[in-house]
Amino acid sequence: MPNSEQRMPRLSDALYRAILDHTFDGINFVDDMRRILYWNRGAERITGFSSEEVLGQICHRDDGLCHIDEDGRRLCQHLCPLLTAMQTGREIQKRVYLKTREGHRLPVDAVTSPVYDEEGKLIGAVQVFRDASAYERAERETEIIAKLAVTDPLTGLLNRRAMEIELEIEERRSRRLNLPLTVIFGDLDYFKLINDQHGHAIGDEVLKGISRLLAAGVREYDRVARYGGEEFLIMLPETKAEIAQEVAERLRQSVSIWRLIHQEKKWPFSVNISFGVAELRPSEGWEQLVERADRALYRAKKAGRNQVFVS
């Protein structure tokens, strides 16, 4: 009875090439000098470069056949996946970018492996790559959707629900590590007058400008949210009330000297803000913390506005 080797017909090089040419992915092989010795039809379709144009060429030449990163920087000298696979002897899986024949930057998911001859000598590297444009668009859309779920669409600050989740997390951390936690509740003074006298479009520009000012005036790990129409909530982890009061006073002064410049016009009105400050107590949760800051804000409003009160 014939063995499996006798039953299995030997495939010719031409048939191997035909099989590879019918794959969806791009496949290329380079020698140890990174000269391109094989370039299948998938590679032609993805990049626009024909095999006649690239065979025998160095893959890191200047006219587009190099790998680049997402910022357009060439990876040829140190971070080229073909070079890395040959230097390390390992398979490299990485998203990189190629320049197409038309000059477009194309994301590809590439798997690159070193290739050895029968004696174990390195002879080059093979790379299988797939157009990742659809994946990258989907990832970008998912990122945008996730961001929209936690941010206020007008100001770009955290929205109320996102801030409440952050407060819940930070409250637990504060109790576990015995660290202070303070919030600042702010509300623009007489904001309705701005909308009534100048229109809601100008009111929106004021909200966006004040939002940028507040976000720039706190630390990177602090959180700022648009909590309501013209209300803002600032969370200051690891911060005592007296320090938060100083932060609020500094922000109040910055708001008072801020002026709206819109459509190359400096608008004549000024904007003021009132703040209430509260530090987390052992007996309360984050909801009670926010309520106390809100009550301090109400006191600041009753006392004449454009002030900072501490609960």
Give the residue numbers marked as catalytic.
230
Cβ atoms 275, 186 nearer than 8 A: yes
- Alpha helices for 10-159 (secondary structure H): 13-21, 41-47, 51-54, 81-88, 133-150
Residues 6+ apart with CB under 8 A from 210: 188, 232, 255, 258, 271, 273
List strand residue ranges (DSSP E) for the chain, in order: 26-31, 36-39, 67-68, 92-99, 105-116, 122-131, 181-188, 223-226, 231-237, 261-262, 265-266, 273-279, 308-310
Nearest to 186 by CA among 219, 153, 149, 218: 218
> In the numeric block, which tokens belong to residue 103?
């000059």
Cα–Cα distance measured from residue 151 to residue 143, given in angstroms and rounded to the nearest whole number: 12
CA dihedral 23, 119, 30, 127 (to 10 degrees): 40
Cβ atoms 113, 86 nearer than 8 A: no
Total residue count of the chain as it appears in this document:
311
Cα–Cα distance measured from residue 35 to residue 167, given in angstroms and rounded to the nearest whole number: 57
Cβ atoms 47, 148 nearer than 8 A: no
